Amino acid sequence: MIGNLQPWMFAFSIFQFIYNVCLTIYLMRKDKDKVTSGRFKEIEDQVTRLDKEKVTGSRVKETEDRISKVETDLVKVEAKVGTAPVCGNHGRMEENDVKLFARFDELHGDIRELTGAVKGLTRSNDMINEFLLKERK
């Protein structure tokens, strides 16, 4: 049989720890220059591009176009919201909501009709039971 494995397990754990630390240090140092220089190069290119756009004024024109489009869209939305029907319980409603509430009203009427029919059947059943009880006595 194999003897006590505790010393070997301890030694293997120490080896794994040292290996992981060395691997981490190696990987951190290996691509450090590439990663940081790539980031700096990307930021410098972006700043240069923004400076050129600012000088040419294309950025300002693009921003003004966006603002005018947003203002136009806002006016359209306000007009659409102003013409939408209003429900006291739910606020503004869309066209589909109006149809849905009309259908709910129809269903509510049908449910009341069914409730009345069930009450009538219950009352009829009570009358039949009462008649049968009186006749048997």
Share of the chain above pLDDT 90, in %: 18
Q: What is the mean pLDDT of residues 101-125?
A: 89
* Residue bearing the bigger pLDDT, 60 or 134: 134
pTM of the model: 0.30
Per-residue tokens: 33 = 């220059």
Domain extents in the chain: 57-93, 94-137
How many other β-carbons are positioned within 10 Å of the β-carbon of residue 98?
A: 13
pLDDT of 103 above 90: no
Q: What is the mean pLDDT of residues 4-13?
A: 89
Q: What mean pLDDT is reported for the chain?
A: 81
| pLDDT per residue as tens digits for the range 49-76 | 877 766 666 666 777 788 888 888 888 8
In this structure, the strands spanning 91-92 and 86-87 are antiparallel
User: According to the model, what pLDDT value does residue 20 have?
Assistant: 96
User: According to the model, what pLDDT value does residue 57 have?
Assistant: 66
pLDDT of 32 above 60: yes
User: According to the model, what pLDDT value does residue 59 have?
Assistant: 65
User: According to the model, what pLDDT value does residue 84 have?
Assistant: 65
Q: What is the mean pLDDT of residues 125-130?
A: 90
Cβ-contact 108, 102 below 8 angstroms: no
* Residue bearing the bigger pLDDT, 100 or 129: 129
Q: Establish how many alpha carbons lie within 13 A of residue 6's alpha carbon, considering only the half-sphere containing its beta carbon.
A: 1
Q: What is the dihedral of CA 127, 130, 136, 137, to 10 degrees?
A: -150
